[in-house]
């Protein structure tokens, strides 16, 4: 069976960055998107090399996607059809699009966000049987209860926003509101489950629904609806429930969500550097 690891990097122009954390950022601090842009650029080659090295060690193909003609055309079409969607969200929908493109050639696929660093020689494909379901990280425990939400407790990218946005979409579609907040920074999937997910089936209708729900205060209060967006993870969660797709939740070893802490546990296999503290990541990588 053909297997592949791929990653994707777009250096979004500063003028196209959406400063989504204006309501919570401390005075004088660098906005998250700008810090991300700087750190990914500074660590560009290392972030490619570590993924390629991992793929070589486990004997699978590695493909690195960047700002090529295919992405330019995708973004151009997106801007034309959905001018209200940011470059950041277009980039994240494109990484899902690449899953489907790669499934034309490969049976098993592992996607790694550009800020993910492998620190193991153990094969992801040996540990996780992709015939049993899609592999992603669940973040539902990070969603806040409605009574604890304020305009300073979340951003448009927070797990809380994604959780209630997915609820609103599921109810609008006639399903139970039950859903899971997921993170698509690491995705393991085979072509069978990717087909079952039907992510882009009715994509136009789904984006129109997201747009409608941003202006509808019938189900949720304004303090929640104001943080609804067009997030790939929200739609991913909806599709899992809508099409009853089997899921395997990645554990902390295979998706270590490196964010608030300054510590990486021994035995971690894949580090997702949310906080972009690559100084700590590279020290761990060297000693792993």
Q: Is the pLDDT of residue 150 over 90?
A: no
Query: What pLDDT, on a 0 to 100 scale, did the predictor assign at position 23?
Result: 46
User: In this predicted model, what pLDDT tens digit does every residue of 58-110 receive, in sequence order?
Assistant: 999 999 999 999 999 999 999 999 999 999 899 999 999 999 999 999 999 99
Model confidence band, residue 261 (pLDDT cutoffs 50, 70, 90): confident
The whole-model pTM stands at 0.92
Q: What is the mean pLDDT of residues 48-52?
A: 99
pLDDT at res. 151: 64
pLDDT score of 167 more than 60: yes
pLDDT in tens, 194-216: 999 999 999 999 999 999 998 87
Q: Is the pLDDT of residue 33 over 80?
A: no
Question: Does residue 165 have a pLDDT over 80?
Answer: yes
Region 218-238: mean pLDDT is 88
Confidence band, pLDDT 50/70/90 cuts, at residue 142: confident
Q: Comparing C-alpha atoms, which of 50, 40, 42 is closest to residue 17? A: 40
| pLDDT exceeds 60 at position 20 | no
pLDDT band at 225 (very low <50, low <70, confident <90, very high): confident
Domain ranges of the chain: 3-287
In tens, the pLDDT along 180-198 reads 999 999 999 999 999 999 9
Residue 162: the pLDDT is 92
Look up the CATH architecture of domain 3-287.
Answer: Alpha-Beta Complex (3.90)
| Residue 157 confidence (pLDDT) | 62
- Confidence at 217, pLDDT banded by 50, 70, 90: low
Structure confidence by residue, pLDDT tens digits, 240-256: 999 999 999 999 999 99
- The residue-averaged pLDDT of 106-125 equals 99
Average pLDDT over residues 27-55: 87
Q: In the structure, what pLDDT confidence band is assigned to residue 160 with cuts at 50, 70 and 90?
A: confident
């Amino acid at each position: 069976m053909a297997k592949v690891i791929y990653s994707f990097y777009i250096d979004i122009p500063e003028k196209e960055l959406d400063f989504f954390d204006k309501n919570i950022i401390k005075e004088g601090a660098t906005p998250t998107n700008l810090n991300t842009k700087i750190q990914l650029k500074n660590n560009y080659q290392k972030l490619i090399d570590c993924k390629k090295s991992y793929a070589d060690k486990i004997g699978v193909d590695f493909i690195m996607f960047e700002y090529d003609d295919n992405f330019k055309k995708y973004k151009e079409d997106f801007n034309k059809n959905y001018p209200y969607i940011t470059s950041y969200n277009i980039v994240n929908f494109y990484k899902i699009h690449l899953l489907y493109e790669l499934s034309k050639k490969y049976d098993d696929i592992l996607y790694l966000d550009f800020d993910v660093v492998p620190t193991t020689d153990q094969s992801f494909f040996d540990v996780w049987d992709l015939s049993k379901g899609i592999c992603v990280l669940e973040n539902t425990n990070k969603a806040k209860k409605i009574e604890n939400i304020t305009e300073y407790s979340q951003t448009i990218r927070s797990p809380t926003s994604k959780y209630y946005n997915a609820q609103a979409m599921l109810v609008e579609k006639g399903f139970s509101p039950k859903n899971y907040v997921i993170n698509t920074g690491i995705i393991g999937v085979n072509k069978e489950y990717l087909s079952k997910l039907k992510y882009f089936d009715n994509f136009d209708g789904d984006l129109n629904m997201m747009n409608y729900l941003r202006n509808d205060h019938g189900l949720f209060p304004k303090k929640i609806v104001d943080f609804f967006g067009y997030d790939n993870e929200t739609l991913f969660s909806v599709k899992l429930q809508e099409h009853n797709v089997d899921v395997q939740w990645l554990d902390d070893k295979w998706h270590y969500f490196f964010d608030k802490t300054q510590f990486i546990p021994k035995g971690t296999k894949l580090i997702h550097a949310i906080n972009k503290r690559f100084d700590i990541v590279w020290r761990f990588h060297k000693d792993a």
